[in-house]
């Protein structure tokens, strides 16, 4: 965001600092020539609006590209950015066409009612009756992949397997979806299973108005009993920003008709459904904490012809691609259940555990406290050490890949510091004469102040000379950018959080400040003053 005047001022100052004729020592003269050439190259790029726009978008690779194969160099910065965004969209479309977008769900139902609903007196003499029987009574596995054929056509392959109490089956489906326009799409489906015959289906989605849409699903199920047709139609309308209204009609084996009203804000959701065979009302609330793990707590109340259900739970991010959640469900006549869900990228693992058919306080207590105790124990003993080790491996990999660049930056920074010595001496003499700004000590890098991190290694470099060289008229101003790019600086700890700590003297009084790596800094300030009494 620097203006042309700011670029010229910085260029002149660095040219005076690194000009080879100002250094008599042969080694310093050689180092000055190299840095002077780098400054000149940078100014040539940044002072021209066209090359500056190319560098901002493509970096050095764009400037070094022969013939400029991407866009013409004569275009304005705005045209270059527009062309770059167009090329980005084309790349995203190509990536979309190459992506299969796999999705899957594994659900394992567990019957743990024997933990709370045992008949101990009747089974005292039965061998093995001393331990509660926990059984897996149902399982469901589904998987689907999408293969974009063109920009408008997508092929979808899906399948599922289900089993419950020893009986089960599966099916496989193939669908072709075509986006007909910006307002709608259509999908043709064919499926077959071991329990039912072939299935032909047609789905249509259409935006009727900007606030209203309709979906229709027609199906023909072939079986030994003949052809079973089915039709489902849903008409929806946006009533306001957070409210939707639905009309649904289903005809076939499970005929139904209902009207729904849904009001959903970021925290509160209200749903009311009136129809046959189910009518109910539901209110839910969720709160998202502003923490690194994106923790959410939620609760809901659902009441209708089927009974009443109260649910509460929480979910938390345990790694970059994984979210773990647990929900306790208490209902009449459903009983008490614990539902555990793990989302790993596009895969979902779901474990509903049915604890009891009755409303037992003990079941509610253990369903609530048990997962919390297990989670915190696993987080402390397994998840946290694993994530720490994974982060260390990523940092080590990053350090290895950037080792040569960091070494070059370090050598340039050390050379710059040697070339700054004479200029810094003059700046200090001028500041001392006016009782101005003197940088006593300055360090840049990773500081460890927290006792919980005392085993970590401090990684800092001395930047007293480079900072003093930036002082002008008893002021030091640093903008919002990484300080590793300042003259005489380099990155001492790649991939880790860095800070700048400065101890300086102004008007004969000591001041101290610590700023984050990308934080703007302006000194001197009254708030930085070190209290003499302290």
DSSP calls for 269-321: EEEEEEEES--EEEEEEEEE--STT--EEEEEEEEETTEEEEEEEEEEE-SSS
In a domain, 361, yes or no: yes
Among 218-222, 407-411, 446-450, the range scoring the smallest mean pLDDT is 446-450
- The 3-state DSSP composition of the chain as helix, strand, coil percent (nearest 5) reads 30, 40, 25
Query: Is the same domain home to 360 and 413?
Result: no
Among 34-48, 49-63, 180-194, 296-310, the range scoring the smallest mean pLDDT is 49-63
pLDDT digits (tens, 9 = 90+) for 486-515: 888 988 888 888 999 999 999 989 999 999
In a domain, 413, yes or no: yes
In a domain, 224, yes or no: yes
| pLDDT given for residue 175 in this prediction | 95
Q: What is the pTM of this model?
A: 0.63
pLDDT digits (tens, 9 = 90+) for 247-281: 999 998 778 899 999 999 888 999 999 988 789 99
Question: What is the pLDDT averaged over residues 481-489?
Answer: 86
pLDDT digits (tens, 9 = 90+) for 161-213: 999 887 888 999 999 999 998 899 999 999 988 777 888 999 999 999 989 99
In a domain, 61, yes or no: no
Q: Given its phi and psi angles, is residue 124 left (phi above 0), alpha (psi -120 to 50 degrees) or beta?
A: alpha
- Whole-number Å distance between alpha carbons of 382 and 365: 25
Which structural domain range is residue 493 located in? 402-528
Query: Is the same domain home to 178 and 263?
Result: yes
Query: Is the same domain home to 378 and 454?
Result: no
Q: Of 309 and 27, which is predicted with more confidence? A: 309
In a domain, 125, yes or no: no
Query: Is the same domain home to 300 and 210?
Result: yes
| pLDDT given for residue 66 in this prediction | 47
Query: Is the same domain home to 378 and 410?
Result: no
Query: Is the same domain home to 163 and 311?
Result: yes
Give how far Cα 200 sits from Cα of 175, 192, 228, 262, Å.
Answer: 10, 9, 11, 32
Residue 114 has pLDDT above 90, yes or no: no
pLDDT digits (tens, 9 = 90+) for 391-422: 888 888 877 877 888 888 888 888 888 888 88
Residue 97 has pLDDT above 80, yes or no: no
| pLDDT given for residue 68 in this prediction | 45
| pLDDT given for residue 129 in this prediction | 56
Question: What is the pLDDT averaged over residues 28-41?
Answer: 84
Look at residues 47, 64, 85 and tell me which one is the last residue of a structural domain: 47
Question: 10: pLDDT confidence band, cut at 50, 70 and 90?
Answer: confident
Q: Of 327 and 419, which is predicted with more confidence? A: 327
Residue showing tokens 């790596």: 517
Query: Is the same domain home to 429 and 349?
Result: no
Query: Is the same domain home to 277 and 234?
Result: yes
Question: 74: pLDDT confidence band, cut at 50, 70 and 90?
Answer: low
Residue 298 has pLDDT above 90, yes or no: yes
Query: Is the same domain home to 371 and 244?
Result: yes
Domain count along the chain: 3
CATH number of the domain that residue 31 is part of:
1.10.287.110
| pLDDT given for residue 67 in this prediction | 43
Query: Is the same domain home to 412 and 281?
Result: no
Query: Is the same domain home to 381 and 424?
Result: no
Q: What is the DSSP string of 336-349?
A: EEEEEEEEETTEEE
In a domain, 534, yes or no: no
Alpha carbon distance, N-terminus to C-terminus of the chain: 41
Structure tokens at 153: 């056509």
Query: Is the same domain home to 274 and 415?
Result: no
Residue 373 has pLDDT above 60, yes or no: yes
| pLDDT given for residue 315 in this prediction | 93
In a domain, 322, yes or no: yes
Whether 252 contacts 228, CB under 8 Å: yes
Question: What is the pLDDT averaged over residues 78-91?
Answer: 68
Q: Of 124 and 175, which is predicted with more confidence? A: 175
In a domain, 372, yes or no: yes
CATH number of the domain that residue 312 is part of:
2.40.160
């Amino acid at each position: 965001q620097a203006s042309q005047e700011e670029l010229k001022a910085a260029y002149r100052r660095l040219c005076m600092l690194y000009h080879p004729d100002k250094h008599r020592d042969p080694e310093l003269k050689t180092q000055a020539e190299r840095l002077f050439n780098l400054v000149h190259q940078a100014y040539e790029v940044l002072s021209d609006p066209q090359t500056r726009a190319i560098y901002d978008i493509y970096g050095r690779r764009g400037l070094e590209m022969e013939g400029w194969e991407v866009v013409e160099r004569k275009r304005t910065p705005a045209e270059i950015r527009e062309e770059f965004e167009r090329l980005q969209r084309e790349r995203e479309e190509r990536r979309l066409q190459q992506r299969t977008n796999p999705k899957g769900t594994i659900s394992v139902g567990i019957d743990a009612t024997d933990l709370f609903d045992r008949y101990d007196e009747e089974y005292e003499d039965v061998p093995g009756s001393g331990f509660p029987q926990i059984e897996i009574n149902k399982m469901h596995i589904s998987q689907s992949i999408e293969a974009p054929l063109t920009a408008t056509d997508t092929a979808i392959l899906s399948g599922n397997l289900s089993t419950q109490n020893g009986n089960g089956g599966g099916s496989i489906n193939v669908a072709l979806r075509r986006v007909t326009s910006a307002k709608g799409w259509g999908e043709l489906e064919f499926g077959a299973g071991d329990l039912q015959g072939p299935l032909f289906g047609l789905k249509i989605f259409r935006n009727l108005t900007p606030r209203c849409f309709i979906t229709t699903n027609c199906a023909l199920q072939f079986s030994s009993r003949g052809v079973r047709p089915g039709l489902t139609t849903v008409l929806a309308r946006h009533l306001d920003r957070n409210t939707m209204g639905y009309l649904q009609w289903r005809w076939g084996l499970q005929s139904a008709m209902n009207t729904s009203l849904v009001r959903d804000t970021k925290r509160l959701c209200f749903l009311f459904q009136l129809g046959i065979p189910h009518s109910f009302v539901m209110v839910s609330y969720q709160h998202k904490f502003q923490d690194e793990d994106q923790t959410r707590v939620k609760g809901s109340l659902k009441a209708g012809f089927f009974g009443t259900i109260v649910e509460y739970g929480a979910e938390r991010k345990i790694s970059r691609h994984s979210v773990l959640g647990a929900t306790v469900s208490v209902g009449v006549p459903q009983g008490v259940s614990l539902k555990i869900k793990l989302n790993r990228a596009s895969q979902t693992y779901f474990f509903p555990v049915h604890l009891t058919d009755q409303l037992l306080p003990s079941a509610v207590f253990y369903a609530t406290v048990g997962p919390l105790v297990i989670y915190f124990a696993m987080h402390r003993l397994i998840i946290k050490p694993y994530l720490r080790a994974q982060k260390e491996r990523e940092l080590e990999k990053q350090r290895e890949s950037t080792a040569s660049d960091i070494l070059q930056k370090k050598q340039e920074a050390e050379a710059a510091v040697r070339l700054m010595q004479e200029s810094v001496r003059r700046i200090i003499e001028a500041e001392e004469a006016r009782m101005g700004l003197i940088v006593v000590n300055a360090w840049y890098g990773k500081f460890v102040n927290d006792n919980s991190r005392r085993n970590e290694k401090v990684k800092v470099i001395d930047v007293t000379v480079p900072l003093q060289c930036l002082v002008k008229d008893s002021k030091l101003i640093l903008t919002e950018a990484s300080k590793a790019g300042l003259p005489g600086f380099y990155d001492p700890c790649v991939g880790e959080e860095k800070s700048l700590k400065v101890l300086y003297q102004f008007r004969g009084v000591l001041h101290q400040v610590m700023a984050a790596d990308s934080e703007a800094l302006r000194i001197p300030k009254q708030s930085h003053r070190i209290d003499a009494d302290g």
